[in-house]
Amino acid sequence: MGGDFSQPQRQSIVGIWVMFFYTLQQYGRALWPIILIWAFKFDEINKVYLVVGMLLLFASIGVVSYLKYLNFTFLLDSENQEFVITEGVFNKTKTAIQLHKIQQVNINQSFIQKLIGVYELDVDTAGTNKKEGTIKAISHQLALDLKSRLLENESQKSLSEKEAIALEETEQKLFEVAHPFIKISFLSLLKVGITSNYQKTIALLVIFFSTIYENFQNFGEENTIYKEKVGTFIDQNLVLQTILLGIIVLFLAVLVLNVIRTVFKYYDYNIARQKGSLLLSFGLLNTKSTIIKPEKVQITTVTRNYFQKKLGILELKIKQATSGEKEEQKAAIEIPGCSESERDAVLKLLFHKIPEKGLMLKPNFRSLVFSIFISIGLPLLVFFAIGHWIEPVIFDYGYWVPIYIIFMGLIQYFKFKNNRLFINDNFVITQSGAWDVSNTIIEPSKIQAISTSQLFWHKKLDIGSIIIHTAGGNVAFQLGNYSILKQKVNLWLYEIETSDSNWM
């Protein structure tokens, strides 16, 4: 393997500049109120004191950055099977990470690191909600060598030397033949950009335009005449046209922002096979590289909507072990713009077969009734209560009520229609979603715990709910056949007890 990590090593010497910029960024975040005051009172500030103060600040940041570089070392302790990092400025800390507990190793490159020509390596386990070890400035080759050493397949230790060599040669041939294993094209990224993430983008745009509108309303008195003219023009002449124009502008803005976000985040997305694992690399300004080991995967989700189906693409999300609910979203590794054949190839590598759905369970229709009551009934009760007892003027907007009822009714209907639980001997698959339909795949051996519940008025109906807990998050299914669910839960609990899976 490329590097000798048995002895303490320092980061690249140019890493001092990375430390400098990151430390400067931390100081800027901490001192931004003072910087803001200086900016507004620049003419009143003594320029000599300002220059001297800035020089002293940069000098202190430089000293701190150099000490961070000097005191930072890392090594692989083969005897104790640990990855050891020593760091600190005045008080040194030593972090020892057991190799078998490492869940993920990422190689990233921010814009600053790209300018300087170094890479960042993050080591993550399931123990905490942060990265256990981070090396901010090493060369790309050294990062690749270290990542390979940290994620070596433990199962090879039980093989004889000849078997290990034969296996390595076979895997190397597969790697050479199929490199890159999958490459997401720019066209696929454009398709993903125009067919996904509508909700997030619309929420951001609503916040943005509401802020602009609020600032417009806070204009001074000298702009009152101008505001009255604009308001009269909109109210009297172009009401319908303004609404239609606003919808068109919002739609176009959503598409443009989605495309830009998708291209910047996933540009040049490559997936390669490397010793039975997936090697992913992507990003335009901030480049990210990570390895996914099949035995570490907890939850795999395949998502697709109507437009994506017509365009022949879908999205994959892979979750490995996390330390809490707040980390679940960040821990999800996304593969956008896959074709069906590429999806099958990834699933075969992760599970050694394509998951089959098997026995299908449907939710009871009471699930739909309850969802309609929560999403439609309660909001309408609040609307009419406010209009009757607090603000009658709200009834002037009553023409939105049937639109809201139809829209939310359709959403709840399709959610109910798509909500399914599939069970076979090797997989548990939940299907959910109204527009974006997701199939979440779990292997019974990866289940950590199972929660079942049944309300007393559901006993005669023999319906109940289940929550499957894994190290990558929870998956729930509501109001299904309780007798079948209990049978399957007993089987899964038995598999959990008898499984020798090494996913931690």
pLDDT, mean over the chain: 80
User: Does the pLDDT of residue 139 top 70, yes or no?
Assistant: yes
Nearest to 171 by CA among 155, 184, 183, 185: 155
So what's the pLDDT on residue 277? 78
Per-residue pLDDT at 481 exceeds 50? yes
Give the 3-state secondary structure of residue 9: strand
| Sign of the Cα pseudo-torsion (240, 242, 248, 254, in order) | negative
Res 465 pLDDT > 90:
yes
pLDDT digits (tens, 9 = 90+) for 88-119: 888 888 888 888 778 778 888 888 888 888 88
Would you say residue 212 has pLDDT above 70?
A: no
Lowest mean pLDDT among 27-36, 251-260, 343-352, 398-407: 27-36
User: Which of 466, 422, 423, 426 is CA-nearest to residue 446?
Assistant: 426
Domain boundaries defined on the chain: 15-152, 187-266, 366-416
pLDDT reading at 227 higher than 80: no
Q: What does the pLDDT average to over 359-368?
A: 94
Q: Looking at residues 180-208, what average pLDDT do you find?
A: 78
pLDDT of residue 303: 95
pLDDT more than 90, % of the chain: 31
Q: Does residue 222 have a pLDDT over 50? A: no
CA dihedral sign, ordered 392, 397, 402, 404: negative
**Residue 129 reports pLDDT greater than 60:** no
For residue 360, is pLDDT > 90?
A: yes
Question: 103 with 126: CB under 8 angstroms?
Answer: yes
For strands 314-320 and 93-98, give the pairing: unpaired
The class level of CATH for 15-152 reads: mainly beta
pLDDT at 329 over 60: no
This prediction's pTM? 0.76
Residue with tokens 């960024």: 25
The 93-98 sheet, strands edge to edge: 73-77, 82-87, 93-98
Evaluate if residue 482 carries a pLDDT over 90. yes
Identify the band that residue 427 occupies on the pLDDT scale cut at 50, 70 and 90.
Answer: very high
pLDDT value at residue 1:
45
Residues ≥6 apart with Cβ < 8 Å to 18: 112, 113, 116, 118, 136, 137
Give residue 378's pLDDT band: very low, low, confident or very high (50, 70, 90): very high
pLDDT in the model for residue 174:
46
Task: Decide which of 475 and 204 is more confident.
Answer: 475
Query: Which of 137-141, 195-199, 331-335, 404-408: highest mean pLDDT?
Result: 404-408
pLDDT (0 to 100) of residue 320? 82
Per cent of the chain over pLDDT 70 is 77
| Confidence grade of residue 41 (pLDDT, cut at 50, 70, 90) | low
Q: What is the dihedral of CA 182, 186, 188, 192, to 10 degrees?
A: 120
Confidence of residue 175 (pLDDT cuts 50, 70, 90): very low
Residue 83 β-bridge partners: 76, 97
Q: Return the top range by mean pLDDT from 169-183, 288-302, 399-413.
A: 399-413
Give me the pLDDT at residue 144, please.
Answer: 81
- Going by C-alpha positions, the residue among 490, 482, 390, 401 that lies closest to residue 450 is 490
Confidence of residue 218 (pLDDT cuts 50, 70, 90): low
Mean pLDDT of 378-389: 92
